[in-house]
A and B are shown apart, each in its own frame.
Chain A
Amino acid sequence: MADQVSAGVPHNTPVEAELTFLAADKLVAWLAALAAREGDLLVPDRQAGTFVPWTGGEPDLAKMTATSAKGIVLPQHETFLSYAYDDDGKVAVTPRVADTPTTVFGIRLCDARGIRCIDQTFGENGPSGADPNYTVRRNLATFVAVACTPADVDAACFCATFGPADDFGVADVVVHPVDGGYVVRPLTEKGLAAAAVAPVDTGATVPEPPLPSQGTAIDIEGIEQKLLAHFDDDELWSDVTEHCLSCGACSFVCPTCYCFSIADEARGSECGDRLRSWDSCGFACYSKEASGHNPRGRNAQRFRNRVNHKFAYYPELYNLESCVGCGRCVRACPAAVDIRDMVEAVMRRPAPTKDGAKAEVTA
């Protein structure tokens, strides 16, 4: 299904391409050219806190949006299929798959790295095979990332923890702000197609763009084993989560959190939709079973899952942390919970006692 829909559109294949220079006053013309292509053009809107359809004018590229770009490939809610009873009383099921190409201008490199994390699970090489809806959206999306300048980095950013400054994630094009304009760096076939409509200055000398700025790294050396060793360290988890309000703000703004729930929503008695929507380990009902039992009934257990998922389970499965250090959770938290504090608390925690060591084996 994914192949059918994405056939004929430029793909994610990496390319080697020349850097070009776009004068600052040509940016809007480039956006207009991108908007003239098939599909939607989204730009960041800090007022809305997210990416919205471009309606003309200069995009607001200062600082990142409150929510991440993940919703473009993994929407907050989507209809998988619709069902309806026909005249004979039989149920007809209609799959629903998105098929609108989207170009997103102005995601951050942390967004581009976040989507790489989600690719591991939902993408073509995922453990359960490609998720059809995700793969279609992903293959139809062109990501134009803007490289951060020193002014874009704040005290919540810690992306240097997870890789070098020139890790462009799954960005199709990177735009580097430089004096008087932008250096345009196509990275994939899709990116080449997007760059091809940019009114670049073909005669200009292309300056060497500076490396993107990064937030300060934290120490996570060996955290995977530490976390597994402290799985049953209830005192640790209760302590670091005591002020957490157990809402979903951190996971819903996170560029890598992808937990979801599925529900059938009846639209009257004759038809309805099957929805997939974001879920959060913050919520008390997260992982609650139909019996009423919840293996993670306490917030400390749920938040442990959050930290372990990002820093132990994902590295174990994919050799990749499921955190990109964008700091959105830190900025969004209404109770000043900082995942860096949790990581550091785990890192400096003395090795578990005998009971803890036993827990490591059974965890």
Chain B
Amino acid sequence: MSAEITESQGTTAVKDSGGATVAVAVADAPVMEFAEAVALGLEKFGVVLGWAPGRDGNLAPAFARSAEQASALAFGPSAVFNPARYVRDHTPCAVVAKPCDTRSLVQMMSENMLDRDEVFVIGLRCPGVADMKKVVERYGWGARVEQVGPDWLVNGDKADKADLLDARCRACLRREPVIADVVVGEPVTPPAEAERFTGLPESMAERGAFWEAEFGKCIRCYACRNACPLCYCQDVCVAQARQPHWLTDEATPAENWMWQMIRMAHLAGRCTQCGECNRACPVDIRLDLLTQELGDTARELFDYEAGLDPGQKAPFVTYDKERDEWPIR
């Protein structure tokens, strides 16, 4: 098996002979301590987007504009939020980003929604974060998760890390930032195999019932859209437009399903599977199964993965049916 290595705008993609990206390394980015990197970001742009402890001690999205605020920034198993979502409203800025978060940044750059020069990326090597819904289920709301040494503690007691590790992290082989100005942390050995999101029934009839139940829960709060770093037309979203008028406010399974299909269609070939829509949903609709399908389809049809290279263009941007060399298999 021969590997192909391509370099573009400071990142190096390593692909296996099948075309699947197996590793991404950031070239020429210095490795430094977290506090040092944050101080550098603050000095450069005056604001650092990241996470700081909230009311319950778990990390919450935070915006540091002073040395004092910067000293509160931290990373840990409760850093589940994708700070890339806030970058557009804060440029120029520094941002602390997990590898999955850097993919959102890269995708925004490839769509000309973010200027590389206007963001200082503090890229983390990531051991994974917790599934906070599972933490709540197991320990009750407000349970505090933290990393001490190699262990995760919940309310001070050692917890089952494998159990609490977020499914999106079990599905992730990329533990290095895709893009970074500085890198923080020790190299992380990715799992041997990416886990799949499961739970979709086999037969189409069962799937119909499954999705009808899932979208029967939807309250049309649009948390999925608003948490998505790539749903950047949210303030003028077609879902709430009268012209064109594709949806009503009727929160029926059919309308709710239509809403999510519109959103997914707009994310086809763009979604980096950061998992924020799935995490954001207050009624736990299995959006991870849909984003996984988006990723699979883009890979199978177009040999494409979003958010790996600022220079790449999404399939739907470049698609040309006359091109016989197009890698549709």
Contact = CB atoms under 8 A, between A and B. Distances in A.
B77 to A, nearest CB: 14
B222 A49 contact: no
Interface string B228-245: 000000111000101000
Interface residues of A, number: 40
Contact of B227 (A280, A331, A335, A338): A335
A232 B48 CA distance: 27
A283 B237 CA distance: 10
Interface stretch (A35-43, A86-94, A242-250): A242-250
A247 B140 contact: no
A334 B223 contact: yes
B142 interface: yes
A246 B250 contact: no
Contacts of A278: 220, 249
A332 interface: yes
A335 B80 CA distance: 9
B220 A334 contact: no
A320 to B, nearest CB: 25
A243 B62 contact: yes
Contacts, number: 123
A174 interface: no
B190 interface: no
A336 B86 contact: no
B284 interface: yes
A340 B226 contact: no
Contacts of A331: 136, 141, 282
Nearest to B227: A334
Contacts of B213: 48
A167 interface: no
Contacts of A12: none
A253 B219 CA distance: 9
Contacts of B61: 243, 335-336
Contact of B219 (A67, A156, A246): A67
Given A77-B251, A252-B219, A275-B250, A341 B55 contact: yes
B48 to A, nearest CB: 13
Given A66-B282, A261-B249, A243 B60 contact: yes
Given A66-B283, A338-B54, A77 B249 contact: yes
Contacts of A156: 141-142
A50 interface: yes
A249 B223 contact: yes
Nearest to B250: A77
Contacts of A77: 248-251
A280 B221 contact: yes
- Chain A, interface SS category: loop
Contact of B141 (A154, A263, A275): A154
Contact of A243 (B63, B276, B280, B281): B63
A249 to B, nearest CB: 4
B140 A76 contact: no
A247 to B, nearest CB: 4
Given A243-B62, A249-B282, A336-B54, A76 B223 contact: no
Best-surrounded residue of B58, B242, B284 (most CB of chain A within 10 A): B284
Interface in A289-332: 327, 331-332
Given A242-B63, A336-B58, A252 B248 contact: no
A253 B140 CA distance: 19
A327 B282 CA distance: 13
Interface string A221-251: 0000000000000000000001101111101
A351 interface: no
Contact of B86 (A154, A243, A252): A243
A197 interface: no
Contact of A249 (B142, B221, B236, B250): B221
Interface of A: 48-50, 66-67, 76-77, 154-156, 242-243, 245-249, 251-253, 261, 263, 265, 275, 277-278, 280, 282-285, 327, 331-332, 334-336, 338, 340-341
6 contacts: A48-B283, A49-B282, A77-B248, A252-B221, A277-B251, A327-B141
Interface of B: 54-56, 58, 60-63, 81, 85-86, 136, 140-142, 213, 216-217, 219-223, 225-227, 234-236, 240, 242, 248-251, 276, 279-284
Given A77-B250, A248-B223, 8 more contacts: A48-B217, A66-B284, A242-B63, A282-B221, A334-B227, A334-B279, A334-B282, A338-B54
